[in-house]
């Protein structure tokens, strides 16, 4: 996963297709597990663009997007935010949420 800045996220939103932005904090144990799940998802869905960022450095974006907790996966399609996922549950769960139809 590539680390994205706020500007890179905004730029990604201007591209067609699905994008995902993973927000975490470094001291969060649940975030560590979510990161491992997303590493597997990246292998399963190589065409999906997934970025990540430490939410501690993006407070204004977190407020703007109304992020309630971490880990948070923001899914956008064709520039529009589709959903926010807080409970990553499992690889199969996220795979189903992210696979292209």
Q: CB-hemisphere CA count at 13 Å for 88?
A: 24
Q: Residues 22-63: pLDDT tens digits?
A: 999 999 999 999 999 999 999 999 999 999 999 999 989 999
Q: Are 66 and 57 in contact (CB under 8 A)?
A: no
Domain-embedded: residue 55 = yes
Three-class SS state of 45:
coil
In a domain, 97, yes or no: no
Separation of alpha carbons 25 and 101, rounded Å: 31
pTM for the complete prediction?
A: 0.93
Containing H/E element for 2? Answer: strand 2-3
Q: 16 is in which domain, residue-wise?
A: 2-82
39 is a domain residue: yes
Average model confidence (pLDDT) across the chain: 94
* pLDDT for res 101: 47
CB of 39 closer than 8 Å to CB of 52: no
How many structural domains compose the chain?
A: 1
CATH number at residue 46: 3.40.30.10
């Amino acid at each position: 996963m590539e680390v994205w800045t706020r500007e890179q996220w905004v730029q990604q939103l201007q591209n067609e297709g699905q994008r995902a932005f993973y927000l975490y904090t470094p001291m969060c144990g649940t975030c560590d597990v979510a990161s491992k799940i997303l590493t597997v998802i990246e292998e399963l869905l190589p065409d999906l663009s997934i970025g990540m960022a430490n939410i501690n450095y993006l407070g204004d974006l977190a407020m703007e997007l109304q992020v309630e907790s971490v880990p948070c996966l923001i899914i956008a399609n064709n520039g529009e935010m589709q959903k926010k996922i807080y409970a990553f549950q499992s690889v199969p769960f996220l795979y189903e949420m992210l696979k292209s139809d």
